[in-house]
Structure 1
Amino acid sequence: MTDKEQIISIEKSLRYISAHVRAHGREILKEYELSPLQFVALQWVGDKDDITIGTLSSRLYLAHSTTTDIVDKLEDNGFVKRYKSDRDKRLVLIKMEDKGKEIISAVIAKRVSYISQITSHLSNEDKEILPSVLESILHESEKYFHE
């Protein structure tokens, strides 16, 4: 297999695995009447303290108005809360509420269970190596990610 073929294979595998993991975890979202896009927004809010709608819009690759609508729904359902920045009263920030943390935890637990199932066939050596390889790729990918 050439280098290019290897990279194409890696891209396809990562894309498919990611889609399967997301789909498996999203089964829980039906219980909360939460759309997949709302859940992705909720994850970004949980991953970054003091996030603004502008930053969230950039991360979701959506218009500011569309992101505002998503945050409105999340706030109406008690998943997030808006508040004014202590440092700059003009800034409206979004923070995760306990209900939002609960759904994130439930979905992550479901995903972890699924990943455990799909990696159970790996040797102990492969299980030992896989996290560090993935972390290295993640670290490298973050160098190219622009907010």
Structure 2
Amino acid sequence: MDDRSDAGELGDLVRRTSRALRRITVAAAEPYGLSPHQLRALRVIAEADRPRPSDVAERLHIQARSATDVIDQLVGSGLVERTPHPEDRRASLLHCTAAGRRALTAIEAERGAATAAYFAVLEPAERTTLTQLLQRLNAEGPECPTQPAAGTEAPRWRRT
């Protein structure tokens, strides 16, 4: 097998794994009426010290308007509250309600158990190796290749 077909197979396997992990997240969040986007926003708000909506948008790498939509849904569900910023009348601060923290704790417990079961087919040393490889890719790999590798075509999303 050549490097390109290895890369193609590896990409397919990573996508399949990613989809399986997303299904785990969806299944854990669904009883609380949350989408994966809403769950990520809830986690950001719970972990931050009273962030502004713009802070949430930045942390999630989404547009401010999209963050506002997600935050509005979380506020409407009673999982997040908005309070006026004490120094800036135009801004608001967010905090996770007790119900939001309970939901997040339960979702993360369910998600953690299901994820552990998913990876249980691997030996502990294999899980360690996989973790190290993925950490390296996330730290050192390009976010999205912009230039084709020598001797290859430009990625479809870069072709004009």
Same fold (TM over 0.5): yes
- Partner residue in 2 for 1:2: 2
> How do 1:1-147 residues align onto structure 2 when only pairs under 5 Å count?
1-57=1-57, 59=60, 61-62=62-63, 64=65, 66-86=66-86, 88=88, 90-140=90-140, 144=143
Q: What secondary structure is seen at the aligned counterpart in 2 of 1:122?
A: coil
Contact 1:41/1:60, CA 8 A, preserved across alignment = no
Q: What secondary structure is seen at the aligned counterpart in 1 of 2:34?
A: coil
Give the Cα–Cα distance (whole angstroms) in 2 for the partners of residues 60 and 19 of structure 1: 20
Higher radius of gyration, 1 or 2: 2
Decide which moves more: 85-94 or 15-24. 85-94
Contact 2:81/2:94, CA 8 A, preserved across alignment = yes
Q: Percent identity?
A: 22
Give the Cα–Cα distance (whole angstroms) in 2 for the partners of residues 92 and 140 of structure 1: 36
Name stretches of at least 5 consecutive residues in structure 2 with no aligned partner: 145-160
Contact 1:80/1:96, CA 8 A, preserved across alignment = yes
Q: What secondary structure is seen at the aligned counterpart in 2 of 1:95?
A: strand
Q: Which has the higher contact order (CA 8 A, sep 6+)?
A: 1
Which one has a larger percent helix, Structure 1 or Structure 2? 1
Decide which moves more: 5-14 or 19-28. 5-14
Q: CA deviation at 1:74?
A: 1.0
Give the Cα–Cα distance (whole angstroms) in 2 for the partners of residues 112 and 121 of structure 1: 15
Give the Cα–Cα distance (whole angstroms) in 1 for the partners of residues 52 and 4 of structure 2: 39
Contact 1:83/1:93, CA 8 A, preserved across alignment = yes
Q: CA deviation at 1:79?
A: 0.9
Contact 1:22/1:111, CA 8 A, preserved across alignment = no
Contact 2:24/2:115, CA 8 A, preserved across alignment = no
Relative to structure 1, the CA distance from residue 2 to residue 57 in structure 2 (aligned partners, 3 Å threshold; closer, same or farther) is same
Relative to structure 1, the CA distance from residue 134 to residue 97 in structure 2 (aligned partners, 3 Å threshold; closer, same or farther) is farther
Give the Cα–Cα distance (whole angstroms) in 2 for the partners of residues 44 and 11 of structure 1: 28
Q: CA deviation at 1:100?
A: 1.9
Q: How many pairs are equivalent?
A: 143
Question: Alpha-carbon deviations, 1:27-63, whole Å to 9, x = none?
Answer: 2333223334322322333344443323434536356
